[in-house]
Amino acid sequence: MTMETTLIILKPDAVQRGLVGRIISRLEEAGLRMVGARFLQLSSQLAERLYEPHRGKPFYEGLLRFMTSSPVMVLAVRGLGAITICRKLIGETFGSQADPGTIRGDFGLSNSFNLVHGSDGPDSAQRELAIFFPPGDLVDYERAIESWVYDLSSGQPE
C-alpha cells in the first residue's frame, strides 16, 4: 500500500442531520489524517464539474439538485491505502444494503441520501481533490501518534 490522499464529501444529509463530527471521528479513529477541509455550499457549476463522469445517467439531475440543496463538508484525507480504507469505512452505496459498522450502515437507510461521497480510485481522487483544493492548500504535517497508527520500524509506514 502507498500513502494516498483522497476526497471525502459529507453530503447535505450528513450536514443537516448533524453527523459531520461523528463521521470525521470515524475517519480519524481509523488512523486517517485530515490534510484539508472546507465547509461550503456547492454551486451548480461546481457540482456539475464534480459529477461530470455521471452526466447522462438517470440519477445525474437529481444528484445535482441534492448536492446543491444544503452545505457540504469537503475533506482531503491521507493515509496508507486511504482510498480503499475510506470506501470500506463508508460502506455500500445504499444505506439499506450497507453493513453495520460502516458509516452508511450505521447512519443511513435511504437509497437516495447516502451521507458521504468518497473518491473511487487514484485518478478520480486526483481530479476531485483539484476541484476543491488548489495547489498548496493541503497541509502536510507530522502527527505525534503516527508511530502508533503505523509500524514504522522499517523506516516506512506499514
Residue 17 lies in a domain: yes
Residue 156 lies in a domain: no
How far apart, in whole angstroms, are the C-alpha atoms of residue 103 and residue 130? 25
| Cα–Cα separations (whole angstroms), residue 36 to 76, 101, 129 | 5, 25, 10
- The CATH code of the domain that includes 23 is 3.30.70.141
Structure-block grid coordinates of residue 68: 446543491
| Residue 50 is assigned to a structural domain of this protein | yes
Residue 151 lies in a domain: no
Domain around 36: 3-135
Model pLDDT for residues 13-70, shown as the tens digit of each residue: 999 999 999 999 999 999 999 999 999 999 999 999 999 999 999 999 999 999 999 9
Cβ proximity of 8 and 89 under 8 Å: no
Instruction: Say if residues 106 and 30 touch (Cβ distance below 8 Å).
Output: no
pLDDT of residue 100: 96
Taking only the tens place, the pLDDT of each residue in 117-147 is 999 999 999 999 999 999 999 999 988 888 8
Average pLDDT score over residue span 145-156: 86
pLDDT in tens, 75-88: 999 999 999 999 99
Is residue 11 in a domain?
A: yes
- Domain count within the chain: 1
H-type helices in 1-137, by residue range?
A: 12-16, 20-29, 44-50, 60-67, 82-90, 103-107, 122-132
pTM, 2 dp: 0.94
Judge whether residue 1 has pLDDT over 80: no
Active site residues: 117
In which residue are the cell numbers 459529507 written? 10
Nearest Cα to Cα of residue 80 among 25, 153, 146, 9: 146
What is the rounded average pLDDT of the residues 95-103?
A: 95
Strands across the sheet containing 72-80: 33-40, 72-80, 3-10, 116-118
Has residue 144 been placed in a domain? no
Cα angle, residue 108 at apex, residues 102 and 110 outer, rounded to 5°: 135
pLDDT band for position 110 (50/70/90)? confident
Return the exposure string of 41-76: e unless at least 16 CB atoms fall within 10 Å of the residue's CB, then b.
ebeeebbbebbeeeeeeeeeeebbebbbeebbbbbb
